[in-house]
Amino acid sequence: MTIQVPSQFFYEWLEEHYINLLKKTIKKELGPEGRLEYSIIMENSISETKPYSIKIPTSNKKDTQNPMVNMPIDLNKGQSRDIPNPFIIPGLKKIKVQSQLVETYSFDNYVEGDCNRLARSAGYAVSENPGKTSFNPLYLYSNVGLGKTHLAHAIGLQVKNNFPNLTVLYVSAEQFIAQYIESVRNNNQNDFVHFYQMIDVLIVDDIQFLAGKEKTQDVFFHIFNFLHQKSKQIIITSDKPPVEMKGMEPRLLSRFKWGLAADLQMPDLETRIAILQKRIYNDGMDIPYEVVEYLAYSITTNVRELEGALISIMAQSSLNKKAITLDLARSMIDKFVKSTSREISIDYIQKVVCDYFNLPVDIINSKTRKREIVQARQLAMYFSKKHTKSSLATIGLHCGNKDHATVLHACRTINNLVETDKQFRIYVEDLDKKIKL
């Protein structure tokens, strides 16, 4: 028996409300071998081809295969064994999809700090109740290497742990574009759209790569609308906030602003140290704290580069059978940092100044009025003004919670001493070289 229905909705409604009655009737009229099949008329909304019909068995058939798709799509390029049938016809209640999540990118391995607390808290809330919070979509943005991809994977992994029956998919924007182009080439755009409409939690990484791709944006717009209306969770990452994105359709940008846009900022010193210690612990290594501290002071803008520097040091130690010391770290990092876009920070300047005068770093932020401490603090302010883009107020805040007038006074004092004290001028020139190394 074949029942023709005009859309997926009718199929699902009949299955939900009348399947038992239909089964009994078919068994009575057609016998135990009787079968029920639906014929769904498919409107091809993407291309200009005419509508077509597909036939699917009722839900009592366990293994439903898509007769229209013989070759799997490529989540990376073309064909992949990881996803046996990436396109799905309407009516399949369950689909088996490899989520593409990286197991190591979990919440357990994610270090929380002031720089990412909002994004991390929102992400965890989403993982506990996907699609049901006001954070839909959850839009995560930051500069490169600050952990947005890690957080997106962590959310997906936590959803899988909490809700094993939900279908979670992580896909980069470039992969999404490649899949769409492949579907156009094979004239199965409808299958492409229907596949994504079956996802419960969709994670799209680096959405900015959709800029300028009008057709792909149009398809993503319809997928986004469908999932959002069905209370499915959408997570998007980008290197820019929605207001700064160029080449995106206004209707798509407005939807990115529906939920929560959370930024991940550059990690502070304590967070960078915690990230390194977490990595060292996970790798079962034993590295002196002074080396960890030196790394955290040297690389300030990119967590990926920070971990890469740590791996380089561990490799150098292991392959050359050398102990991990501060001297080894200096020789490695000096080469490593020069090849990266290193930005001198106030924390780093304080570290160099305190090391030069053999003082603990925290004492520079104390209220002591000892001459050597005051002078070190003034030098830190002087070099911070010279080598960073920070405002006077920010420099003062980092140097003992002083105001901008104190910073100006410190800079004038150092300039006067450089002009009148030959030994002090040598100190300043030496420190300047160390800071710029």
Which residue type, as a one-letter code, is found at position 163? Answer: F
| pTM score of the predicted model | 0.58
Q: Does residue 90 have a cis peptide bond before it, meaning omega lies within 30 degrees of 0? A: no
Residues 258 and 291 in one domain: no
Contact between 86 and 199 (Cβ < 8 Å): no
| Range with lowest mean pLDDT among 46-50, 108-112, 400-404 | 46-50
Residue 140 lies in a domain: yes
Residues 383 and 419 in one domain: yes
Q: Which domain holds residue 400?
A: 360-436
φ/ψ of residue 290, rounded to 5: -60, -30
Tell me the H-state helices in 163-302.
Answer: 173-185, 189-197, 214-229, 250-256, 269-282, 289-298
Residue 16 lies in a domain: yes
Burial 263-276 (b: 16+ CB within 10 A, else e): bbebbbbebbbbbb
Residues 116 and 201 in one domain: yes
Terminal CA-CA length for the chain:
80
Q: What is the mean pLDDT of residues 336-343?
A: 52
Percent of the chain's residues with pLDDT above 70? 84
| Whether residue 163 has pLDDT greater than 60 | yes
CA distance 182 to 189: 9
| Whether residue 380 has pLDDT greater than 50 | yes
| CATH number where 136 lies | 3.40.50.300
Contact between 171 and 205 (Cβ < 8 Å): yes
The residue ranking higher by pLDDT, 82 or 120, is 120
| Range with lowest mean pLDDT among 47-56, 95-104, 152-161, 333-342 | 47-56
Domain finish residue from 338, 373, 397: 338
pLDDT at 57: 63
pLDDT category, 201, cuts 50, 70, 90?
Answer: very high
pLDDT at 95: 46
| Whether residue 334 has pLDDT greater than 80 | no
CA distance 384 to 19: 73
If one counts the domains in the chain, the total is: 4
Residue 74 lies in a domain: no
| Range with lowest mean pLDDT among 62-66, 131-135, 165-169, 273-277 | 62-66
The residue ranking higher by pLDDT, 80 or 236, is 236
Q: What is the mean pLDDT of residues 40-61?
A: 52
pLDDT at 64: 36
Residue 405 tokens, joined: 């007038």
The residue ranking higher by pLDDT, 57 or 47, is 57
State the CB neighbour count (10 A cutoff) for residue 348.
23
CA distance 409 to 382: 10
Residue 78 lies in a domain: no
Residue 142 lies in a domain: yes
Residue 94 lies in a domain: no
Which residue type, as a one-letter code, is found at position 409? Answer: H
For 332, counting Cβ atoms within 10 Å of its Cβ (0-12 exposed, 13-18 middle, 19+ buried), the class is buried
Contact between 394 and 380 (Cβ < 8 Å): no
pLDDT at 71: 33
| Whether residue 63 has pLDDT greater than 80 | no
| Whether residue 42 has pLDDT greater than 70 | no
CA distance 216 to 183: 11
The residue ranking higher by pLDDT, 160 or 98, is 160
- Locate tokens 């791996």: which residue? 311
Q: What is the mean pLDDT of residues 361-381?
A: 85
| Whether residue 68 has pLDDT greater than 80 | no
Compute the mean pLDDT over every residue in the chain, rounded to the nearest whole number.
80
Residues 15 and 48 in one domain: yes
Contact between 306 and 296 (Cβ < 8 Å): yes
Tens digit of pLDDT for each residue in 103-159?
Answer: 888 898 888 888 888 899 999 999 999 988 889 899 999 888 888 999 999 999 999
Is the Cα torsion angle 81, 86, 92, 94 positive or negative in sign?
A: positive
CA distance 32 to 110: 56
- Locate tokens 């270090």: which residue? 111
Secondary structure of the chain: what % helix, strand, coil (to 5)? 55, 10, 40
pLDDT category, 77, cuts 50, 70, 90?
Answer: very low
Distances from the Cα of 369 to the Cα of 355, 356, 366, 397, angstroms: 19, 19, 9, 17
Residues 309 and 374 in one domain: no
pLDDT at 296: 83
pLDDT at 35: 85
Residues 36 and 11 in one domain: yes
Residue 89 lies in a domain: no
CA distance 170 to 383: 45
Task: Give the closest residue to 345 by CA, choosing from 387, 403, 291, 283.
Answer: 387
Tens digit of pLDDT for each residue in 204-258?
Answer: 999 999 988 889 999 999 999 999 989 999 999 998 888 888 888 888 888 888 8
Q: What is the mean pLDDT of residues 308-315?
A: 83
Residues 304 and 174 in one domain: no
Residue 43 lies in a domain: yes
Residues 114 and 253 in one domain: yes
